[in-house]
């Protein structure tokens, strides 16, 4: 290829920067710096913290990558065996009803955690994306090339923030900030979808993430000690009633997502498909909200069920109904004589920790924190 033709081709590539481009290796100039490479797991985590940093939503560049069929198919192919192993574990344990001691002594939780971590390790080995330079423009390249809309400097800043965030999630001296940041890391693959569903259903993202943190620690595949399932820890014995209730009162997103799905298939998807579990969980919370229940009522009824919630002493429920309990600080100590209220206390504390973490992300203040 002549020099003039090569210059013309590179100029044309720059003009088409808003499109996904099929680009051959010889047309790109790799940056010979190892830290400029990203794997599939980093892409997911960058997308997750980008959503937490900005109320405007997710980065278009990473959204394009995660919706790319090549990316999806390779990831699904590589992690299929591990996901199927976890689904078999769900089938094995979905009907258990154990005490905390029995659940711990049998090592059931550890089996699920290791399975979820195995998927992360596999994704970390997948699709090494490389930041490459074409003329004066930079692209994130693998099978396809994507223009780095914020430029190289901003992308590298995001990578550095991610590394600080990952370190912070293990080193922070605030145990709740550690829990919530680790939840975000565990949940990173699904945070874009959770954000999308929450917006379409008019739900508060922080509320949804705090409930997930409390319920499952952000692990998409896990069975609790009483058989509760996955991210939202939905009780399998109640899936049939959930199906009926949500078809009557669920939002348009729920009905579109589960269009043509019968009760049996609904139960199967909620058990084995994290996204279906997410839609069902958010739809339940929306249902309680539309029934006029305030935030602490929604959280407690979600956790306990209507019947069990009604057994909480009336004077406590009255104060909650009046909207006087809006944070951990506003939760009277006298309420804690009722053990069921501890769930609400933990929820508020996690939500407050999430807000602090979001502020750290927005200000990139992790390096200023005392470790």
| pLDDT mean over 292-310 | 95
219 and 311 both lie in a single domain: no
Helix (H, G, I), strand (E, B) or coil at 66: helix
Query: Who wins on pLDDT, 67 or 42?
Result: 42
| pLDDT mean over 154-162 | 78
307 and 237 both lie in a single domain: no
330 and 225 both lie in a single domain: no
Give the per-residue pLDDT at 33: 46
- Is residue 302 assigned to a domain? yes
Give the per-residue pLDDT at 292: 94
Question: Predicted confidence band at 31 (pLDDT cuts at 50, 70, 90)?
Answer: low
- Is residue 371 assigned to a domain? no
C-beta neighbour count of 173 within 10 angstroms: 9
Inter-CA distances, 249 with 183, 208, 246, 289, Å: 30, 19, 5, 11
Q: Which two tokens stand for residue 109?
A: 């939780």
Average pLDDT, the chain: 84
Q: What letter would DSSP give residue 367?
A: G
Q: What is the pTM of this model?
A: 0.85
296 and 281 both lie in a single domain: no
What backbone phi and psi angles, to 5 degrees, belong to 58? -85, 160
Give the per-residue pLDDT at 17: 38
12 and 52 both lie in a single domain: yes
Q: Is residue 193 packed enough to be buried (19+ CB in 10 Å), middle (13-18) or exposed (0-12)? A: middle
On the question of pLDDT at 152 being above 70, the answer is: no
Return contacts of 25-32, CB within 8 angstroms, 24+ apart. Answer: 27/134, 28/132, 28/133, 28/134, 28/139, 28/141, 28/145, 29/132, 29/133, 29/134, 30/130, 30/132, 31/130, 31/131, 31/132, 31/133
Residue among 370, 295, 49, 277 nearest 183 (CA): 49
On the question of pLDDT at 158 being above 90, the answer is: no
Q: Residue with structure tokens 């797991």? A: 41
Give the per-residue pLDDT at 171: 86
E strand spans, the chain = 29-30, 37-38, 129-134, 137-141, 145-147
Per residue in 44-83, pLDDT (tens digit) is: 888 888 888 875 555 666 667 667 777 777 788 889 999 9
239 and 347 both lie in a single domain: no
Helix (H, G, I), strand (E, B) or coil at 146: strand
- Is residue 370 assigned to a domain? no
Give the per-residue pLDDT at 9: 40
Per residue in 328-367, pLDDT (tens digit) is: 999 999 999 999 999 999 999 999 999 999 988 887 776 5
> CA torsion angle for 210, 49, 196, 84 (degrees, to 10)?
-80
Question: Predicted confidence band at 3 (pLDDT cuts at 50, 70, 90)?
Answer: very low
Domain that holds residue 316: 292-365
- Number of domains comprising the chain: 2
Q: Is residue 4 packed enough to be buried (19+ CB in 10 Å), middle (13-18) or exposed (0-12)? A: exposed
Alpha-carbon Rg of the chain, whole angstroms?
A: 23
On the question of pLDDT at 186 being above 80, the answer is: yes
Domain boundary (270, 291, 312) is at 291
Least confident among 21-35, 130-144, 219-233: 21-35
162 and 298 both lie in a single domain: no
E strand spans, 2-54 = 29-30, 37-38
Give the per-residue pLDDT at 61: 65
On the question of pLDDT at 23 being above 60, the answer is: no
40 and 22 both lie in a single domain: yes
Residue among 190, 152, 150, 129 nearest 59 (CA): 150
Least confident among 61-75, 196-210, 310-324: 61-75
- Is residue 170 assigned to a domain? yes
Question: Predicted confidence band at 156 (pLDDT cuts at 50, 70, 90)?
Answer: confident
Sign of CA dihedral 247, 253, 259, 264: negative
Give the per-residue pLDDT at 7: 40
């Amino acid at each position: 290829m002549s020099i003039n033709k090569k210059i013309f081709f590179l100029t044309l590539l720059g003009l088409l920067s808003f499109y996904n481009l099929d680009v051959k290796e010889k047309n790109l100039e790799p940056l010979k710096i190892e830290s400029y490479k990203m794997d599939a797991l980093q892409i997911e985590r960058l997308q997750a913290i980008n959503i937490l940093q900005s109320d405007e939503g997710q980065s278009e560049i990473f959204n394009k990558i995660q919706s790319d069929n090549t990316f999806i198919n390779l990831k699904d192919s590589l992690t299929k065996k591990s996901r199927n192993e976890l689904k078999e574990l769900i089938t094995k344990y979905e009907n258990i009803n154990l005490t905390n001691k029995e659940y711990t002594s049998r090592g059931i939780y550890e089996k699920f955690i290791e399975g979820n971590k195995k998927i992360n390790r596999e994704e970390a080995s997948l699709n090494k994306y490389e930041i490459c330079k074409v003329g004066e423009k930079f692209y994130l390249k693998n099978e396809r090339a994507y223009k780095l809309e914020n430029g190289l400097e901003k992308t590298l800043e995001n990578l550095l923030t991610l590394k600080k965030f990952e370190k912070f999630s293990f080193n922070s001296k605030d145990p709740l900030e550690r829990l919530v940041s680790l939840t975000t890391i565990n949940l990173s693959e699904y945070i874009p979808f959770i954000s999308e569903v929450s917006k379409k259903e008019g739900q508060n993202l922080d509320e949804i993430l705090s409930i997930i943190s409390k319920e499952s620690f952000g692990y998409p595949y896990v069975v609790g000690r009483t058989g509760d399932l996955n991210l939202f820890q939905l009780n399998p014995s109640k899936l049939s009633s959930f199906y009926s209730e949500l078809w009557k009162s669920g939002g348009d997103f729920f009905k579109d997502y589960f269009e043509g799905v019968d009760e049996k298939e609904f139960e199967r998807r909620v058990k084995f498909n994290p996204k279906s579990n997410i839609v069902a969980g958010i739809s339940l919370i929306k249902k309680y909200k539309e029934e006029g229940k305030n935030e602490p009522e929604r959280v407690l009824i979600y956790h306990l069920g209507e019947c069990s919630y009604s057994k909480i002493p009336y004077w406590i429920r009255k104060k909650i109904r009046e909207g006087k309990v809006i944070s951990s600080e506003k939760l009277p100590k006298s309420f804690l004589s009722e053990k069921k209220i501890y769930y609400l206390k933990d929820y508020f504390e996690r939500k407050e920790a999430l807000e602090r973490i979001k502020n750290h992300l927005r200000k990139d203040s992790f390096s200023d924190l005392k470790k």
